[in-house]
Structure 1
Amino acid sequence: METIIPAWLCIPFAGLLLCIAVMPLVKATWWEKNQPLVVAMWSLLFVIPYAVKYGVGDSVETVLECVLNDYLTFIILLFGLFCVAGNITLEGDFAGSPRLNVAVLAFGTLLSSCIGTTGASMLLVRPVLKMNAWRRNKRQLMVFFIFMVSNMGGCLTPIGDPPLLMGFMRGVPFFWSLHLLPILLFNMVIILSIFYFMDRRAYRKDIARGLKPDISKPGTDFRISGLHNVIFLVMIVAAVILSGTLPNMPMFQDASGNVRGLHIFREVTLTYPAIIEIVIILLAAYLSFKTTDESIRTKNHFTWGAIQEVAVLFVGIFITMQPALMLLKSYGPNLGITKPFQMFWATGALSSFLDNTPTYLVFLTTAGTLGFTKGMVTSVGTISVKMLTAISCGAVFMGANTYIGNAPNFMVKSISDENGVRMPSFFGYIIWSLLFLVPVFIIDMLVFFI
């Protein structure tokens, strides 16, 4: 099969993204009912031409490889965290004030590196919405929640975000990412300061309208229901760690060094580490539901709508973005990107619209071929610490630029919409990121990567 595919095969991917951006604005009701049909249409518009050009076998192999080895583990992880977090509820007399919201966002940002951006997002999104349910102006809260908790906070460990897990699998030490703490703290100070003044202004408008929280005894009634589900959350985190460590163990490798698994079709194999990860996560979700009273989910306003929407849309995104990823793999090493600031922007810009894990791997591999003699020794070559820092920050930070840049972004949007928060449209959200994130990234470049 040819290594470089024609750019026109990226049209279905662009078409699907355009539908996600535009259809909720022009045909919202129709879009909600017909998302599966639209996703199927754009997916077929990629699969059929690809099959005509390269053969049915190659087309089937490409789709199976994408669905089984990328999408399946992605959606199972999201599903497991969605279920377990939905069975934990925070109750108490907490009023969403600017100071409290900043404190929660800061806590969530740091928590993301411990249980992953998806785990922290699913665990905190409903409590944050509850605390601010009395407020009318709270869109900015959920946007900055996505910025910080769903993205930037995952930069400190391989658990935090999948790209760093891939780096760990290729020889980057587990705790190396803690080197990114000064950059994260730098960004937290800037972004949370901006948020505080925005939220304070919105808070004062709400108070001026006569809105106030229904609190009889402030601070005296706080409890967490379903706390035992933390055990299942730990199970899921352990499953993610195992998925990154088991493939390197001899017992999971054949004589050629390939990871063992179930042979599906041609070169497509569902690896045993992936199967173990899936089984553990599904078991955690099942046990969470079996051991948690339904009243807790009722208090959380738990529905399946958000996970269903993400599952449908992202299977189409994963399938149709394959040509773009193939082009990136073909041209990535020849783009002339040799400086840390170039790696930061290239990795970040593409991670905003493509899966940030393969994007990270492409530029990590590219950096490994640049002939560094000092730095981090990995399985793809020696990479300077500054270069590795730029690639890591670009992949993790700039996933916040769009709703599809990182797994929890769209989930937080969907849950916020369900709870009556008028979130920005697809393009509207990008305007927010252009106004508040890109200037911070420019500062990052000047301070850390030049």
Structure 2
Amino acid sequence: MKKLVTVLGAFFAVLLACPLSVFAAEGSKAPSTVPVWLCIPFAGLLLCIAVMPLVKAEWWESHQPLVVALWIILMVVPFAFVYGAGKTAETVLDCIVNDYLTFIILLFGLFCVSGNITMEGDFAGSPRVNVGLLALGTLLASCIGTTGASMLMVRPVIKMNSWRKRKGHIMIFFIFMVSNMGGCLTPIGDPPLLMGFMRGVPFFWSLHLFPVLIFNMVILLFVFYQIDKRSYRKDIANGRKPDIRKPGTQFRLDGLHNIIFLVMIVGAVILSGVLPGMSAFQDAAGNVRGIHLFGEVTLTFPALIEIVIILLAAFLSFKTTDKQIRIRNHFTWGAIQEVAVLFIGIFITMQPALMLLKAVGPNLGITKPAEMFWATGALSSFLDNTPTYLVFLTTAGTLAFTNGITTTLGTVPTKVLSAISCGAVFMGANTYIGNAPNFMVKAISDENGVKMPSFFGYMLWSVAFLVPVFIIDMFVFFL
């Protein structure tokens, strides 16, 4: 019965993310149909991620690359029949070069550097300590990104709570707050806001979202404290105790020089947003210069610079850090390998769904902040939140508003821009695939013996605790 509920829940969730039909004019005056059935491989891959760990866990662990390759083929071949081999090759190559490559390189760099920093001391994972760690990680996310904060904080949080039996909820709220909500204050925090900055949204405009973030932090930290306090007392009652000889007297950080390499990576991300707007990186037509690969696919020089800096930071981090630190961190390559395999499948198979979104977005009749909040958020829960953000930002820019933030896409009212930004950043927490660090935190938690819920099991947590907060946000900030 539990498996059936998991299958049906994930299936209906995917249906919500895929419009039934759409007509779009892509580069021509005549409308072209985007067949909805091209989204089936994407839905199938999501179902595998949701169901296979429950029904065939060991088989799934060893055969993930084959399953992902199968779903990619099942998307690419029909796509080629509909759009032709050239368009298919261009679409897949553009996805790999301009989306997946920078995505996985950033994750890899942060994974490597954070794995070379270890935190040790006489801090037990008590409710108060955990609330402090979550609050710190959430605020840190806007400084070094949700991925950076997640990778930096996840191992210390797991280590401090290693003595506890009931700790899965800690990592769930970690994903809610550190891996998602905390990134709303700066363009560094989350890629959608970086895309907004590249299109004229002022760098520090996102600080307008600080009241929303603090409001949500207070609610979620209060709820978390009550849940964690109950679990903590049960663990204590069952005889579990942390191994602390001199409570509160010893604390140390090893590998702290790796903060330099984290700053390098953050700088690389900022450069990727700033350099494309500089004349030195543009040709006469205003296009960003780069290495031409195929059709209209170009690996831009700003992206190449970002990749080189991140890989250099990862290399220097390993060269300058004692391997004993990685041993104490229980560092392995399993988590990044799993994410790399699954997400290349997700990125490629979701292309038809993104085409549907781009085609249908401007014609949805969504104009009000509350509508923008829910539309952007619901789709960001299953699709990449960056293109989702851009679709609705573009839509808002075409609605002929006269007051608000002036962007290259048009004038967007502050409340509308706030709604789009919060929807894209906050609701990526609704599923494991809604934002890149979500699955990384899950994989590292699983690797370290923390029992995490299944794909749909996690969604039950988000529906129970996040959706009510989002409803309150709508009434307080977006109506």
Question: Do structure 1's residue 369 and structure 2's residue 398 form an aligned pair?
Answer: yes
* Alignment partner, residue 309 of structure 2: 280
Question: Do structure 1's residue 167 and structure 2's residue 196 form an aligned pair?
Answer: yes
Per the alignment, in what secondary structure is the counterpart of residue 66 of structure 2? helix
Whichever residue aligns with residue 244 of structure 1, its letter is: G
* Alignment partner, residue 207 of structure 1: 236
* Alignment partner, residue 4 of structure 2: none
* Alignment partner, residue 134 of structure 1: 163
Any residues of structure 2 matched to 1:72-151 within 5 Å, and which? 72-151=101-180
Contact 1:3 1:330 in 2 (8 A): no
Give TM-score scaled by structure 1 length: 0.99
Whichever residue aligns with residue 415 of structure 2, its letter is: K
* Alignment partner, residue 20 of structure 1: 49
After superposition, the C-alpha distances for 1:252-299 in whole angstroms (9 at most, x for unaligned) are 001111000000001000000000000000000000000000000000
Contact 1:351 1:359 in 2 (8 A): yes
Any residues of structure 2 matched to 1:155-304 within 5 Å, and which? 155-304=184-333
Counterpart CA distance in 1 for 2:333 and 2:33 is 40
After superposition, the C-alpha distances for 1:196-224 in whole angstroms (9 at most, x for unaligned) are 00000000000000100000011221110
Counterpart CA distance in 1 for 2:93 and 2:179 is 28
Question: Do structure 1's residue 381 and structure 2's residue 394 form an aligned pair?
Answer: no
Counterpart CA distance in 2 for 1:355 and 1:233 is 24
* Alignment partner, residue 16 of structure 2: none
Any residues of structure 2 matched to 1:396-407 within 5 Å, and which? 396-407=425-436
Counterpart CA distance in 1 for 2:408 and 2:302 is 20
Counterpart CA distance in 2 for 1:198 and 1:332 is 39
Give TM-score scaled by structure 2 length: 0.93
Contact 1:12 1:46 in 2 (8 A): yes
After superposition, the C-alpha distances for 1:294-330 in whole angstroms (9 at most, x for unaligned) are 0000000000000000000000000000000001111
Counterpart CA distance in 1 for 2:143 and 2:439 is 21
Contact 1:4 1:326 in 2 (8 A): no
* Alignment partner, residue 433 of structure 1: 462
Runs of 4 or more above 4 Å deviation:
none
CA offset at residue 245 of structure 1? 0.3
Query: CA distance change for structure 1 residues 154 and 3 in 2, over 3 Å: closer, same or farther?
Result: farther
Per the alignment, in what secondary structure is the counterpart of residue 210 of structure 1? coil
Q: How many residue pairs were aligned?
A: 450
CA offset at residue 373 of structure 1? 0.2
The partner residue of 1:40 within 54, 69, 88 is: 69
* Alignment partner, residue 395 of structure 1: 424
Per the alignment, in what secondary structure is the counterpart of residue 120 of structure 2? strand
Per the alignment, in what secondary structure is the counterpart of residue 203 of structure 2? coil
After superposition, the C-alpha distances for 1:133-176 in whole angstroms (9 at most, x for unaligned) are 00011111000000000000000000000000000000000000
Whichever residue aligns with residue 385 of structure 1, its letter is: T
CA offset at residue 3 of structure 1? 4.5
CA offset at residue 4 of structure 1? 3.6
Structure 1: gaps spanning 5 or more residues: none
Structure 2: gaps spanning 5 or more residues: 1-25
Per the alignment, in what secondary structure is the counterpart of residue 437 of structure 1? helix
Whichever residue aligns with residue 145 of structure 2, its letter is: G
Per the alignment, in what secondary structure is the counterpart of residue 399 of structure 2? coil
Whichever residue aligns with residue 396 of structure 2, its letter is: A
Per the alignment, in what secondary structure is the counterpart of residue 8 of structure 1? helix
RMSD between aligned residues: 0.7
Per the alignment, in what secondary structure is the counterpart of residue 213 of structure 1? coil
Counterpart CA distance in 1 for 2:323 and 2:345 is 32
* Alignment partner, residue 451 of structure 2: 422
Contact 1:263 1:269 in 2 (8 A): yes
